[in-house]
Structure 1
Amino acid sequence: MHNDGKVVPINRAQATPSPLARLPVVLLQVRDKAAQQLQQGLQELFDNADDTLFEMAEKARSTVDHHIFFEAMRDLRLKRKNFERVFMEQLFVAFANLGQARCSGAHLVPLVSYEAAPGTSADDVEKAVALEAMLGRVRHRDGLALGQLDARLSELLGRRLEDPENPLGPARLCEFFLQAGRSLGVEIRVKLVMLKLFEKYVLSDADLLYGEANQLLIATGVLPQLKTVPSRRAGGREAREHQHYTSQAMVAPPLDKSGQQAFSALQKLLVAVRGSVAPTLEASAEPQPIATRDLLRLLSHLQQYVPEPGGEDDFDLRNQLEQLLTRGSVKSGKSRVLEEADEDVTNLVAMLFEFMFDDSGVPDAFKALIARLQIPLLKVAVLDKSLFSCAEHPARRLLNDIASAVIGWSPPYDHPRDNLYLCIEQLVQRVLNEFVEDPAIFSQLLTTFSAFIAQERKRSERLERHTRDAEQERLQVEVARQRVAHVLNRRLVGKTLPPSVLQFVQQAWSQVLLVAVLKHGEQSLQWQAALRTVDELIWSVGLREDTEAGRRLLEQLPGLLKALRDGLAGAAFDPFSTREFFLRLQAMHVQPLDDEVLVEVREPFILGAGPPGADEPLPHDDPDLLKAKQLRAGTWVALQQNEAGTLRCKLTAIMPPADTYVFVSRAGLKVLEKSAGQLALAFKQGVLHALDDGPLFERALAAVVDNLRQLNRGK
Structure 2
Amino acid sequence: MKTDANVVHLNKMVSDTAHSAAGRLPASLIQVRDRAANQLKQALQALFDNADDTLFDMADRATSNAEQNAFFEAMRDLRLKRKGIERGFLQKVFESFSSLNHYVVGKPPTLDAVSFDSLSLVQNDELEETVALDSMIAKVLSRDHVALTHLTTRLNVVVSKKLDDKSNPLGPVSLSELFLDSCSGLGVEIKVKLIILKLFEKYVLSGLEQLYSDANAMLVEAGVLPELKSAPPRRSVSHSRPDRHEQADSAERASPAYLDDDVREVFGALQELLSQSRDGLPSRRQAPADAMPISTNDLMRLLSHMQQRAPIQAPMDVDLRAQLEHLLTRASVKSGRVRVVGEVDEDVINLVSMLFEFILDDRSLPDSLKALIARLQIPMLKVAVLDKTFFSRGSHPARRLLNEIATAALGWGDHDHNQRDSLYQKIEQVVQRLLNDFTDDPAIFSELLTDFLAFIGDERRRSELLEQRTRDAEEGSARAELARREVEHALNERLLGKTLPEVVVRLLREAWSKVMMLTCLKHGTDSEQWQASLATMDELIWSVEPQESPEARLRLLELVPGLLKALREGMTSAAFDPFSTSEFFAQLEALHVQAFQRFKRAQFDSERSASNDSEEVQRSALSSLGLELPLLELPPEDEESVSAMVEVVDQIVLLAPGQACAQEDEPVLADDDEALRQVDSLRVGSWVEFQEDEEHKLRCKLAAIIKPTGKFIFVNRTGMKVLEKTRTGLALEFRRDAIRLLDDALLFDRALESVIGNLRRLKGA
After TM superposition, the score normalised by the length of structure 1 is 0.84
Total equivalences in the alignment: 677
- Aligned match of 1:505 in 505, 508, 516? 508
d(CA) in 2 for partners of 1:174 and 1:400?
32
Question: Residues 533 and 563 of structure 1 are in contact (CA less than 8 Å); yes or no, is this contact kept in structure 2?
Answer: yes
Match in the other structure for 1:191: 193
Once the two structures are aligned, what percentage of the paired residues are identical? Answer: 50
Q: Deviations over 1:439-483 (max 9, x none)?
A: 333333333333333333333333323322321221121122122
Question: Residues 109 and 174 of structure 1 are in contact (CA less than 8 Å); yes or no, is this contact kept in structure 2?
Answer: no
Please state if 1:322 is matched with 2:325.
yes
Alignment of 1:498-537 (within 5 A): 498-537=501-540
Displacement, 1:595? 4.3
d(CA) in 2 for partners of 1:215 and 1:561?
102
- Residues 1:273 and 1:395: Cα distance change in structure 2 (over 3 Å): farther
Please state if 1:71 is matched with 2:118.
no
Match in the other structure for 1:272: 279
- Aligned match of 1:301 in 305, 315, 338? 305
d(CA) in 2 for partners of 1:306 and 1:605?
69
- Aligned match of 2:184 in 182, 186, 203? 182
Match in the other structure for 2:494: 491
Match in the other structure for 1:606: 653
Alignment of 1:91-170 (within 5 A): 91-100=93-102, 105=109, 107-110=111-114, 113=116, 117-138=119-140, 146=148, 149-150=151-152, 153=155, 156-157=158-159, 162-170=164-172
d(CA) in 1 for partners of 2:55 and 2:128?
19
Question: Residues 152 and 223 of structure 1 are in contact (CA less than 8 Å); yes or no, is this contact kept in structure 2?
Answer: yes
Most deviating of 69-78 and 409-418: 409-418
- Residues 1:258 and 1:707: Cα distance change in structure 2 (over 3 Å): closer
- Residues 1:565 and 1:207: Cα distance change in structure 2 (over 3 Å): farther
d(CA) in 2 for partners of 1:227 and 1:440?
48
- Aligned match of 1:662 in 707, 710, 713? 713
- Residues 1:401 and 1:711: Cα distance change in structure 2 (over 3 Å): same
d(CA) in 2 for partners of 1:11 and 1:52?
34
d(CA) in 1 for partners of 2:170 and 2:585?
92
Match in the other structure for 1:561: 564
d(CA) in 1 for partners of 2:54 and 2:470?
30
d(CA) in 1 for partners of 2:367 and 2:760?
29
Displacement, 1:91? 0.4
Displacement, 1:690? 0.7
Displacement, 1:580? 4.2
Displacement, 1:390? 3.6
d(CA) in 1 for partners of 2:219 and 2:203?
25
Amino acid across the alignment from 2:74: A
- Residues 1:612 and 1:272: Cα distance change in structure 2 (over 3 Å): farther
Displacement, 1:298? 1.5
d(CA) in 2 for partners of 1:396 and 1:189?
17
Match in the other structure for 2:692: 641
| Aligned residues: CA RMSD | 3.6
Question: Residues 102 and 160 of structure 2 are in contact (CA less than 8 Å); yes or no, is this contact kept in structure 1?
Answer: no
d(CA) in 2 for partners of 1:12 and 1:28?
16
Displacement, 1:575? 6.6
d(CA) in 2 for partners of 1:265 and 1:121?
18
Amino acid across the alignment from 1:605: I
Displacement, 1:220? 3.9
- Residues 1:406 and 1:569: Cα distance change in structure 2 (over 3 Å): same
Please state if 1:367 is matched with 2:408.
no
Alignment of 1:193-208 (within 5 A): 193-208=195-210
- Residues 1:201 and 1:477: Cα distance change in structure 2 (over 3 Å): farther
Displacement, 1:99? 2.8
Secondary structure in structure 2 of the residue aligned to 1:307 = coil
d(CA) in 2 for partners of 1:258 and 1:170?
17
- Residues 1:287 and 1:34: Cα distance change in structure 2 (over 3 Å): closer
Match in the other structure for 2:626: none
d(CA) in 2 for partners of 1:559 and 1:545?
21
Displacement, 1:219? 4.9
Most deviating of 639-648 and 672-681: 639-648
Displacement, 1:178? 0.6
Displacement, 1:227? 8.2
Amino acid across the alignment from 1:589: H
After TM superposition, the score normalised by the length of structure 2 is 0.79
Displacement, 1:662? 1.4
Alignment of 1:169-248 (within 5 A): 169-210=171-212, 212-214=214-216, 216-217=218-219, 219-221=221-223
Please state if 1:678 is matched with 2:729.
yes
Displacement, 1:361? 0.8
Structure 2 stretches lacking a partner, 5+ long: 1-11, 234-259, 596-638
Displacement, 1:302? 0.5
Displacement, 1:143? 5.8
Match in the other structure for 1:439: 442
d(CA) in 2 for partners of 1:528 and 1:51?
54
Question: Residues 710 and 727 of structure 2 are in contact (CA less than 8 Å); yes or no, is this contact kept in structure 1?
Answer: yes
Question: Residues 263 and 388 of structure 1 are in contact (CA less than 8 Å); yes or no, is this contact kept in structure 2?
Answer: no
Alignment of 1:347-362 (within 5 A): 347-362=350-365
Match in the other structure for 1:696: 747
Match in the other structure for 1:401: 404
- Aligned match of 2:268 in 261, 283, 287? 261
Secondary structure in structure 2 of the residue aligned to 1:164 = coil
Amino acid across the alignment from 2:406: A
d(CA) in 1 for partners of 2:695 and 2:389?
43
Displacement, 1:375? 1.3
- Residues 1:312 and 1:374: Cα distance change in structure 2 (over 3 Å): closer
Question: Residues 332 and 339 of structure 2 are in contact (CA less than 8 Å); yes or no, is this contact kept in structure 1?
Answer: yes
Amino acid across the alignment from 1:265: E
d(CA) in 1 for partners of 2:764 and 2:216?
51
Please state if 1:461 is matched with 2:512.
no
Displacement, 1:395? 2.4
Amino acid across the alignment from 1:380: V
d(CA) in 1 for partners of 2:741 and 2:295?
42
Match in the other structure for 1:241: none
Secondary structure in structure 1 of the residue aligned to 2:703 = strand
d(CA) in 2 for partners of 1:423 and 1:570?
53
Question: Residues 72 and 186 of structure 1 are in contact (CA less than 8 Å); yes or no, is this contact kept in structure 2?
Answer: yes
Displacement, 1:287? 7.5
Amino acid across the alignment from 2:650: E
- Aligned match of 1:27 in 26, 29, 38? 29
- Residues 1:52 and 1:582: Cα distance change in structure 2 (over 3 Å): farther
d(CA) in 2 for partners of 1:454 and 1:116?
45
- Residues 1:590 and 1:308: Cα distance change in structure 2 (over 3 Å): same
